[in-house]
C-alpha cells in the first residue's frame, strides 16, 4: 500500500515528464479534460487538469470530472512513476478508467509517450 504523499509525488513526476515533452503538449492541445485520480484503499484524491495542452495537478477531488481513474494506491503510484504501464491493470480490472473509449485510449497513449521504452 502506498501513502497519499507517494501518489502525489508520482503525479508530480508524471506532470514533469509531460510538461517537458513539447510534442505531447502539441498532441493534446485540443483535449481539455478534468481527471479524477482516486485510490480505493486509502483516502486519496487528486485532480489532473489538461487545458490547451498544459497539465496541472491539484490536491483533492474535482466536483464533476470528465474521466475517473480509480485503483489501489500502489498501482496508482507505480503507474504514474512509470514503473508499470496502465494497460495491464486496466485489462485485469485492477485499474478502472471511467470515461469514453477515446479518453481511455488517449490517457494510455499519454502515459506510454512519457514512460514508454
Partner 1 sequence: MKRVVSVSLGSSRRDHKVQVALFGEEFEISRQGTDGNFDQAIALLQELDGKVDAIGLGGIDVYLYAGKTRYVVQDGLKLMQAVHKTPVVDGSGLKSTLERETVYFLRQNTDLLPPKTKVLMVSAVDRFGMAEAFTSLDCEVTYGDLIFSAGIPYPISTLEELEEIAHKTLPDMCQLPFHMIYPTGKKQEVQDEEKIKKYGHYYLEAQVIAGDFHLIRRYLPLLKGQTIVTNTTTTEDVAFLREKGAGYLVTTTPEFQGRSFGTNVIEAIMVVLLQKPWPEITPDDYLNLLKQLDLKPRILKLN
Could you list the residues that contact partner 1 (CB under 8 A)? 23, 26-28, 30-31, 85, 87-88, 91, 101-102, 104-106, 108-109, 112-113, 116-117
Q: What is the C-alpha separation between 64 and 62, in angstroms, rounded?
A: 6
- Closer Cβ to partner 1, 5 or 26, answer by number: 26
Smallest gap from residue 32 Cβ to partner 1 (A): 13
DSSP alpha helix (H) spans, the chain: 4-19, 22-27, 73-81, 87-92, 101-115
Shorter beta-carbon distance to partner 1: residue 20 or 26: 26
CB of 117 vs partner 1, minimal distance in Å: 7
| Shortest Å, Cβ 46 to partner 1 | 23
How, if at all, do strands 96-98 and 67-71 pair?
antiparallel
Farthest-apart Cα atoms in the chain, separation: 35
C-beta of 87: minimal distance to partner 1 in Å? 4
Amino acid at each position: 500500500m502506498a501513502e497519499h504523499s507517494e501518489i502525489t509525488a508520482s503525479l508530480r513526476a508524471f506532470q514533469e515528464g509531460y510538461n517537458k515533452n513539447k510534442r505531447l503538449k502539441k498532441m493534446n492541445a485540443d483535449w481539455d479534460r478534468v481527471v479524477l485520480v482516486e485510490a480505493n484503499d486509502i483516502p486519496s484524491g487528486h485532480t489532473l487538469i489538461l487545458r490547451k495542452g498544459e497539465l496541472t495537478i491539484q490536491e483533492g477531488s474535482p466536483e464533476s470530472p470528465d474521466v475517473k481513474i480509480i485503483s489501489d494506491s500502489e498501482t496508482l503510484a507505480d503507474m504514474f512513476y512509470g514503473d508499470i504501464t496502465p494497460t495491464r491493470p486496466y485489462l485485469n480490472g485492477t485499474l478502472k478508467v471511467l470515461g469514453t473509449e477515446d479518453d481511455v485510449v488517449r490517457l494510455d497513449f499519454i502515459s506510454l509517450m512519457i514512460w514508454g521504452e
